[in-house]
Structure 1
Amino acid sequence: MTDARGGSAVDRGWTWDPTLYAGSAAHYAVGRVPYPPQVVTALVGALGLDGTGTLLDVGCGPGSLTLPMAPHVARAIGVDADADMLAEAEDLARRWGVANTEWVRLRAEDLPAGLPRVDVVTFAQSFHWTDRPRVAAAVRGLLLPGGALVHVHATTHRGLDASEDAGQPLPHPRPPWPAVTDLVRRYLGPRPRAGRSVLPDTAGGDEEAVYRAAGFTGPQRLVVPGPVVVRSAEEVLAAVHSLSGAAPHLFGDRLGAFDADLRRLLAGASDDGRFSERLRDVVLDVWR
């Protein structure tokens, strides 16, 4: 979940706890739109990947970026604090026949934690949850000479609002995201939830200053246009539960009622249960 207000959750006084994404792993794998293939193509070219070297994906979730990048390195290591996310990643790796991956349960703040030095480190929608100065410094020490850090700016749970989208008309209705947000608030309250607490309202800094303070130079910026995707109602429901602010455990014994209300809302927004939306561009910042 990208923090739209800038900075990081930690910058704003929030404290991590292990329930942050509790119950979300299976929903994440279904509800988040895969990164476009052009993301991998762009990174392979910019980083000169040739099937050698080691990649470390920090906050890997169910391997959303680790798995498509793995064929281009000798060894891909995904680390995440959520055991269910790693189990999902391991299952997907097995199903996809990706044999050069390793999955380590680890908070980013505990790096290097005995991991080897690596050629590439990636943060794909994860850096904002960390103690960024501490983690950036640790990653700097993990990189081999000539290595690179890649910060992926993306929003994969939903697309552009109608007011933001100047592209061609879509083949199906957009998911009714404003109404979905209102429904979540009806059940969970107006403050965004995150684990056992809520996110404070004050803003933080920006990651560019953090990376520079840790000794990185750059960035080299690559932009991959967001595609138009078609999604089912169940994929939209999964996208909602893939968010920390709507993780299944937050609803307690009202989860069934919420899901029923959400399905009714989605059924009323599309006659055939299909939705279209244009995703935001994926921006890749390569730091050296």
Structure 2
Amino acid sequence: MALVPTPPPFDPDRYRTAAAHYEKGRVPYAPALIRRVAEVTGLGPQHRVLDLGCGPGPLARSFASLARDVVAIDPSPEMLAAARALAGQAANIRFVAGSSYDLDPALGSFHLVVMGRSFHWMDRVDTLERLDQMIEPAGALALFRDSAPAVPANAWRKVWHDIRERYEPDRGPHERDPNWIRHEAILLDSAFTRLESFGVIERRAIDVETLVQRALSMGSTSPSHLGEKMATMAGEIRTTLADVREEVVETSALVAWRPDSR
């Protein structure tokens, strides 16, 4: 029986005030991970890439040098403005205002579709059906994420999460829903049923200002969500976590192909 998850409400303004903090706060994807995904998907300079829900464009920028061109889509004007500024003179990236609901074969076909921390905000079943009409027969899609292994260097993360939780009025669609259906299950009911996961674990330097920016980059603790409490939360993070100097992160990609693509 096919899974029919309830999609979250579409809100193009969810990250309106988080956009200014996203690039500085979020965990960057490891260059080795980008290279690995390009390798296993057979991405070459003749191919096109679609970055869906591009935010400020970290994936679009990373794949631009590996492909013929990249189309980067996001519904947030603020995110697109940040993405254009950060892309600089990258001539082969085209930024488009829109969302997964605007996916259409008129955009052309793509060898690779990438999404960074965005798939959970979409109507995932509808998105995959649309992408099935746009991804080349031998093409793939890749869902990127980051996580923090439970190692001593990450002990501060519980304190950071506890501070955020006291201030956030709501959270993402998968964080408190006991009926949340994992991406893997949705993919296995789609056209893209051959799944492989790739990850890179690294120790990285970090400071408390990055932790403040990271909190403000989250949809649930963005400046517009916090209002007058923003300065208080930021001050608590700075005071409590002033000594943080490093973290261990895993950036990973779940890659999906059609079962007959090799």
In structure 2, the residue corresponding to 1:202 is in which secondary structure? coil
The equivalent of 1:48 in structure 2 is 42
Offset, 1:64: 1.6
| Alignment check: 8 A CA contact 1:39 1:282 kept | yes
Matched, 1:79 2:53: no
Offset, 1:98: 2.0
Matched, 1:39 2:15: no
Once the two structures are superposed, residues 175-209 of structure 1 have per-residue CA deviations (whole angstroms, 9 ceiling, x without a partner) of 733222332333335xx335xx9976332223233
The equivalent of 1:252 in structure 2 is 227
Superposed, 1:262-281 pairs within 5 Å as 262-267=237-242, 270=243, 274-281=244-251
Distance 1:146 1:205, change over 3 A: same
User: Take 2:56 and 2:245, find their aligned partners in 1: how far apart are those partners?
Assistant: 24
Offset, 1:281: 4.8
The equivalent of 1:205 in structure 2 is 181
Offset, 1:55: 0.3
* CA RMSD between the two structures: 2.4
Distance 1:211 1:281, change over 3 A: same
| Alignment check: 8 A CA contact 2:142 2:255 kept | yes
The equivalent of 2:208 in structure 1 is 233
The equivalent of 1:216 in structure 2 is 192
In structure 2, the residue corresponding to 1:79 is in which secondary structure? strand
| Alignment check: 8 A CA contact 2:205 2:247 kept | yes
Offset, 1:249: 0.6
The equivalent of 2:252 in structure 1 is 282
| Alignment check: 8 A CA contact 2:7 2:121 kept | no
Matched, 1:105 2:97: yes
Is 121-130 or 249-258 further displaced after alignment? 249-258
| Alignment check: 8 A CA contact 2:7 2:122 kept | no
| Alignment check: 8 A CA contact 2:43 2:112 kept | no
Offset, 1:241: 1.2
Offset, 1:13: 6.1
Distance 1:86 1:131, change over 3 A: same
Is 43-52 or 109-118 further displaced after alignment? 109-118
Once the two structures are superposed, residues 31-77 of structure 1 have per-residue CA deviations (whole angstroms, 9 ceiling, x without a partner) of 11211111121122112222112100111111121111111111101
User: Take 1:193 and 1:19, find their aligned partners in 2: how far apart are those partners?
Assistant: 15
Is 76-85 or 256-265 further displaced after alignment? 256-265
Percent identical pairs in the alignment equals: 27
Extract unaligned runs of 5+ from structure 2: none
Q: How many residues align?
A: 255
In structure 1, the residue corresponding to 2:71 is in which secondary structure? strand
Distance 1:43 1:261, change over 3 A: same
User: Take 1:215 and 1:193, find their aligned partners in 2: how far apart are those partners?
Assistant: 30
Query: Residue 177 of structure 2 aligns to which amino acid in structure 1?
Result: D
Query: Residue 166 of structure 2 aligns to which amino acid in structure 1?
Result: R
Which runs of 4 or more aligned residues in structure 1 lie more than 4 Å from their structure 2 counterparts after TM superposition?
Answer: 197-200
Offset, 1:143: 1.2
In structure 2, the residue corresponding to 1:204 is in which secondary structure? coil
**Scaled by the length of structure 1, what TM-score is found?**
0.80
The equivalent of 1:58 in structure 2 is 52
Query: Residue 231 of structure 1 aligns to which amino acid in structure 2?
Result: I
Offset, 1:113: 7.2
The equivalent of 1:4 in structure 2 is none
| Alignment check: 8 A CA contact 1:183 1:262 kept | yes
Query: Residue 279 of structure 1 aligns to which amino acid in structure 2?
Result: V
Matched, 1:117 2:109: yes
